[in-house]
Amino acid sequence: MLTSSTMQETAGAQGIELRKDQASQLQQLTTESQNEASQGFDTKSALEIARIINHEDAKVASAVKKAIPEIALVIDQVARSLREGGRLIYVGAGSSGRIAALDASECPPTYSTAPGQVQYIMAGGPKALASAVEVNEDSEELGQRDIARRRPTRKDVVVGVSASGRTPYVVAAVAYAHARGAHTAAVTCNHETPLAAAADITIIADVGPEVISGSTRLKAGSAQKMVLNMITTGAMTRLGYVYENLMVNVHMQNSKLTERGIRILMCACKIDHEAAVQIIKSAGRSVPVALVMLKAKVDKPEAVRRLAKSDGNVRLAIEDNVLDL
């Protein structure tokens, strides 16, 4: 008869066997390889440690640069989906999931997007943002369950974020979304991975081995953050939520963001602080409405009408006046 302790030991042994089976796969991953530049890392001084990390970090931008064509494809797809009422849904685990959560959570204050437009799903749920729940990463069932709850459709874009490209939770979620007709993309740091096989478009930022082997919150994490920045910034710009290079859709919910909105209007329209404050007040505290009012020389109702007609695209709303001429 098996006792409780015996069952635990058996389960533990099976877990070890599973890890042995996966060892050869892990060894082939660039992100799990040893970095020659950081040999003897534990013997280095603080200055040497900082220099080695900085030297390795300098490789990140060039690795991301190689994936720009794929990044551009995802930008356009996300813009199309959001324009048609769809969503951008990130799926991640561990550090990758936290980076995805950060990007998703910063879209509403930056671009005044609705909370549901850019979402994230993370292995272990929201509590995993602050504490490690890494065991959930291995569950395909949980990945499928969590994405199924969001009911992905052909209007949505689901982006799996995984440095290794083989996290079962993320792969299963992306595969499920793909089967339901959603557009899918992978953001990874390794070539020829299960996640790439499950996605329509794969963005690979091959940053090479980490300073500390397998610690993908380092270069891989930086690369993923850069890629996600490009995706949302690019998509929101394509949607017209940026005018010139100004964050005109900023949501003025606190004093810093309110002052930012005022300065944006001052810069775009070459007016002083007092004039900017007055026009923003008359525009109902909306920078896009104020900008269209000033640039197109129209009243608030007309500015609102134009923005509705252009789906919030500020430049198109302003140029509506030119088209009418």
Q: Tell me the β-bridge partners of 88.
A: 118, 157
User: Using CA atoms, how far apart are residues 173 and 312, in angstroms rounded to an integer?
Assistant: 31
User: Using CA atoms, how far apart are residues 250 and 307, in angstroms rounded to an integer?
Assistant: 15
Nearest to 193 by CA among 166, 160, 224: 166
- Cβ(268)–Cβ(243) under 8 Å? yes
Catalytic residue among 70, 106, 302, 319: 106
Active site residue 134: no
Active site residue 56: no
Tokens of 98: 């936290």
- Between the alpha carbon of residue 302 and those of residues 19, 264, 309, the distances in Å are 64, 21, 10
Residue type, 270: K
For residue 52, the tally of other CB atoms under 10 A from its CB is: 17
Catalytic residue among 32, 56, 137, 210: 137
Q: What residues act catalytically?
A: 106, 137
